[in-house]
Structure 1
Amino acid sequence: MNNPILVVDDSKHVQRQIEIFLTPEGFSRFFFANSAQEAFHLLGLDDETAKKGKCEIDLILMDINMPGTNGVEACLKINATSHLKNIPIIMITAEDTDEGLKQAFGAGAIDYIKKPLNPVELIARVSSVLRLKKEMDERKNREKELLKLAQVLEETNQKLKLANEKLHQLSRTDSLTGLANRRFFDEMLHNEWRLSVRLAKPLSILMIDIDFFKNYNDTCGHQKGDECLKQVSMALRSALKRECDIIARYGGEEFVALLSDTDETGAVMVAKAMQSNIDAMNIPHKDSNASGRITVSIGISSDVPNAASSPEKLISKADKALYLAKYEGRNLIKW
């Protein structure tokens, strides 16, 4: 056994006895203190030792009656120190009074041995206490490992949650414009449709198309075309003032807006705001037959959803209105 043992006793004879009794049992690391103050020094409880470092101790055998600070007082001080309180202390006493033992156990001693020392009793108590300490240390180490594993698991779960949230967000977002994609729009359309049926509230859809965008792409190149799509997306989004309103890229240069609890009049106002925002950007487009700058055509459909209708019919109506806007010269709003 290589457990370091601190023997605190003002009797050199007792110190020597303990060493003689325990050495044949495999104990070989002993520290000796003639007083509580010397023990404090060895344990690093004074300023000088704290700077130099302290010896590591697995067990303390301490006389209960010593000059100056007695064993009970020393035990109290050691157990009041956070990094020392887990060191088991066995009291050595020549007394056989309940009061003395009560004070010793109250101070934090784990066991006691009577003087004169009996080698069999000493070996049994020391071995038992060290075995218990080993089990407690192993349990604490397991608890620490479990705590670390729990923390790692929590961190991993948190990272996984964030990754899933990001993946979920990416699955519903158009990578170029940052708007909702068609898949998410279709999902939200059916949700809003069911809600509008239940509440008997109007629902409006705006189908939006950039006028002569193919010509712009062919003339200016795809890089400029992508930049134009981003700018138009920002202009369309800024026209929506409510969090519940949705603007999505429907495909290519086509966009769609979903306005809950909005009738035809409200939808027209939003469409005009969209056109106004795009006009304000003043993006040159020399190959447009509608204007010398980027413009949009918008088709609107509004309805109070009911069981006899469907989201697909609302989309189809907006699509037809958009076709009419393009047919009549573009840069128009039709409903």
Structure 2
Amino acid sequence: MTFNGKSIQSNVFDYSSLSQEKRQFVQEKTDEIKNLIRRTAQNVIDIGQKLLEVKEQVGHGYFLNWLKTEFNWSVSTATKMMQASEKFKNVNFTNLNFSPSALYLLAAPSVDDEIREEALVLAESGTKINYSLARNLIRHYKYTTNSLTQKDFILDLKKSDDNDNRVLAQTLKQTFVDAKSISIEETCFSSNSNIIVPMVDFDFFNHYLFREWLRASREKVFLSLILGNLANLHFYNNKLPYISRHESGQLLISILNKTLKRSTDLYTFYDEEKFLLLLSNTPLDGALQIAKTVKKQFEMRQSQISSEHKSLIDTCTLNLIVCSLVPSNDLSVNFLLSVLEQELINIQIQGEESISIKQF
């Protein structure tokens, strides 16, 4: 529907039925709303407030007729704007990159206040809050509070039309998974148990990590990260061309999928051979145990490959850095990741193969 700010002349609102005082008030609000008709998030809030004021003055029956004749708006359209005004009445959206569609979604009565607060924190940090991100914030909250099962969570996301925010429903551009040979169902579900694997795309991981960082900081609980890389991957694949990058990646993916048991534990691949694990509510000892398990399983499989190909001197090795902390305002997640990245580079330069612990 296109809103051009013009009255619907075929059915003119009867202002004569109102008192002079109310008629003047409603006509002023009508003009003000039409001036705001190009809706930004702040305009939505302003329009919603004026709609609430008019509704209070003229009553429900007159209000519906006025909406139709002056703006050709449905009740649901007006309700969305009024809800947005009520839920975000103390927020100034002038300098926030917040789409109206996201505002409507987050203002719904079924959405928890905590989700709205997190969306505002993201917006204040410079993140664009569009409909897809708002929808995912809501899904994340339901998922992590156990009001949405893991399977339903992923199946719901698979229906999304926004490729940047699909989770576990497609392979990554920079992962080891061969998108041509692995279907969405094979990537997301175990063929035997129909259990969803914890691999997510990089954009989703960033949003999820930021949300978990805020939650852990607020609740004063541990959050752990494991950064890893497959060293000598290119050399390894060049020496054994029939052991493709796809197969090498699938080896690690298989181990990670079997090791990570909790629905809130996720990982992502980036820069081809690097990966990052997020372990919510996990102290150092728990994260270290997971790192040791992954490395042990990987080395066992690599040992089997080496024994089958004795001419191979250097094999693909796995380096891991484990970090566990209670997030605080004194440390940003971006700074933490940059420190871990540098630590990983140092390990590669030294030619070590290890599990390192980074403490803050």
- TM-score computed with the length of structure 2 as normaliser: 0.43
- The structure where strand makes up a greater share of residues is 1
- Higher CA-based Rg: 1
